[in-house]
Amino acid sequence: MSKTSFIVNQDGLAIFTFLRPERRNAIDYDVMEDLRTALIQVKASSRIKMLMITGEGEKAFCSGGDLEVFHKLKTEKEAYEMLNKMGMILYDLLTLPKPTVALLNGAAVGGGCEVAIACDLRLASEYSKMGFVQGNLGITTGWGGASILMEKLLPQDALFMLYTGKLFTAEEARQIGYVQKVFSSHHLQEQAINHCGEILKKPYSVLTAYKEAMIRKWTSQNLFAQIQEEIKQCAKLWETDEHHKRVDSFMNRKS
């Protein structure tokens, strides 16, 4: 059974969906590869003007990395290989030369928040919640999310999200600029697509020109190197007893 879906509508909107509601749309290696492939297709196709990423169901957009898979990684080296793989995919998402939007149909937790912040815009269901909870597990963001967050939010708001590791409501997230628009959960995707209609009406050349201007800014600031340092730091913390104990405790609490 496929863990993701990828479709393109007649207006040039590509929609990539996490299809693992039983795992709160968590990311494993298969999902990583599907997202990497989708980004290649979006970049190569002149028919596609915009990419939307969302999740199946109403409970979760994405809960980040699948702990049942990634908790088997114990050493710094093992962790770095996984973190760097996904970090580079998110950098490709961040620098995709087309508009991107995350539609938060439910909770965006940990790495799910990193996926969302790598998109240009974030639209959310009124019942969605979001938080960079990695600190509660004894690690930092490891896919580049903190570096990207600090580019997109005011410093004090970015640090508050990271320091506290709390879950924000959709409205709280909108107030600090993490979310741009909150919708009712009724016909959520239809509302989001309609909202994106104003963007899709613009000429392809205009959209790519604006996005490429932003990419030039990030390139001049060497954001890629900052993300690499973030990945290395997380890999070091991943190996610690503190991290493994906290994940064990979390998984035992769930079972």
pLDDT tens-digit readout, 34-89:
999 999 999 999 999 999 999 999 999 999 999 999 999 999 999 999 999 999 99
Average pLDDT over residues 178-194: 97
Q: Which residues lie across from 14 on neighbouring strands?
A: 8, 51
In a domain, 230, yes or no: no
Could you tell me the end-to-end alpha-carbon distance of the chain, in angstroms, rounded to an integer? 25
Task: CATH number of the domain at 141, please.
Answer: 3.90.226.10
How many domains are there within the chain?
1
In a domain, 157, yes or no: yes
pLDDT tens-digit readout, 24-34:
999 999 999 99
In a domain, 220, yes or no: no
In a domain, 250, yes or no: no
Give yes or no for residue 5 having a pLDDT over 70. Answer: yes
Domain extent for 32:
4-200
Helix (H) / strand (E) containing 76: helix 76-94
Spatial neighbors of 100 by CB under 8 A, at least 6 apart, are 50, 51, 52, 53, 93, 118, 119, 120, 121
In a domain, 49, yes or no: yes
Q: Is the pTM of this model over 0.95?
A: yes
Band of the pLDDT at 123, cuts 50, 70, 90? very high
